[in-house]
Each structure stands twice: as C-alpha cells, then as structure tokens.
Amino acid sequence: MTLSVERETMQHARHIRAVGASAAAWLLALAALAGAQDSPLDVQEAGLRTALAPTAAVIARDGEAIKVEFPIRLAFVPDGMELLPTGTQMLDILARSLRAHEQTQVVVAVYTDAIGSSDFNHRQSLARAEVVVEYLRGNHVAIARLIARGVGESEPLSAENTPAGRDLNRRLQLIITPLSS
C-alpha cells in the first residue's frame, strides 16, 4: 500500500470513528430526553467516544466494561518501552476521564505478535503495561484503580502470517469497569 493510500485510509477511518462517536453521543442524549437513566459508565463511554474520536483508539462496550484499543505501533517506540506522543495523547485523554469518573478501575493489557519467544513476548507486554500504569499514576489516577496485565501472544486477533495480521495483534487495551463494592 502506498503512503498516500495508507494516509487516505487512516483519514477515512478517523472520519468513520468521529461519525460513530457523534452518533453514540446523540443516541445517549436522546435516551436521556426520553427519560432513560444513564449509568455513570454510559456517561464515561460517551465522553471517551467524543474525546478519543480524533485518535486511532477503538472503543467497544461489553456489558459493564468499556474497552479502548490502540495500536502498539502508535503507542510505543518500536521494540521499546518509551511512549510515543500519539500514545501519551490518548493516555492523557483517558487519565482525564478516569479522574472525572473515580468509581471505575482499569486493566491495562498489552498484546504482542508471535515473533520471538513466548517468554520474551510476555515479559515485554507486562513491562509495557506497567509503563502505561505508571504514566496514568503520574497523571493523578490512583494506583489502586490500575492493574497491569501482560498478555503476550496468547490472545491474537488475526493470523500471524502477514505483517498486517501481526500489526493487529500488537495492541494496547484498556478495560474500564465499575469498582467493586
């Protein structure tokens, strides 16, 4: 894929996410007008969809969990532990949301592809998850609300036989759930 086609594809994907975020916000607003009671998690999800629309983050709702996924190639330097500016931008937005919604906790899960040994991939994914936890803690999110999980290569989204498939498997996922009572 040429660079211009790739850039155009990413712009198109951002536009689709922005339209989806706007639609979700409108649906939540209409539900509120109709007398439906929004849960705090609904409010947090709507805010995240709006705030993260210009980023490459993908948001999904799974019952009482908000899942935010972000490509590792946009979060960390290649093969490193240093966050990239696009990664810190997304994490800054998440930190603001977490500070505003203190009754939630976050599991920070990092996934790898299957290149390299399973042990290396697990250690690398856990170390990167801990970097994200420390970044959020440094942005005034209580450490008691943050859990680092290194998944490694054990839960692939795609086949590993192409670069695009491996790229899909390398991801940062933040799972936001209500705090247990």
102-128 per-position pLDDT tens digit: 999 999 999 998 898 999 999 999 999
Parts of the chain with a pLDDT under 70: 1-37, 181
**Residue 53: its pLDDT value, please?**
93
**Residue 181: its pLDDT value, please?**
47
**Residue 14: its pLDDT value, please?**
65
161 residue type, one letter: N
**Residue 168: its pLDDT value, please?**
85
CA distance 70 to 87: 8
Residue 26 CB partners (closer than 8 Å, separation 6+): none
Torsion angle, alpha carbons of 125, 127, 131, 133, to 10: 80
**Residue 167: its pLDDT value, please?**
83
Angle between helices 3-33 and 40-52 (to 10 degrees): 150
Q: What is the pTM of this model?
A: 0.78
Residue 98 CB partners (closer than 8 Å, separation 6+): 104, 106, 136, 141, 145, 176
**Residue 15: its pLDDT value, please?**
58
The superfamily (CATH) of domain 54-178 is OmpA-like domain (3.30.1330.60)
**Residue 7: its pLDDT value, please?**
60
Structural domain spans, the chain:
54-178
Give strand ranges (E) for the chain: 58-62, 65-71, 104-111, 146-152, 171-178
CA distance 97 to 125: 24
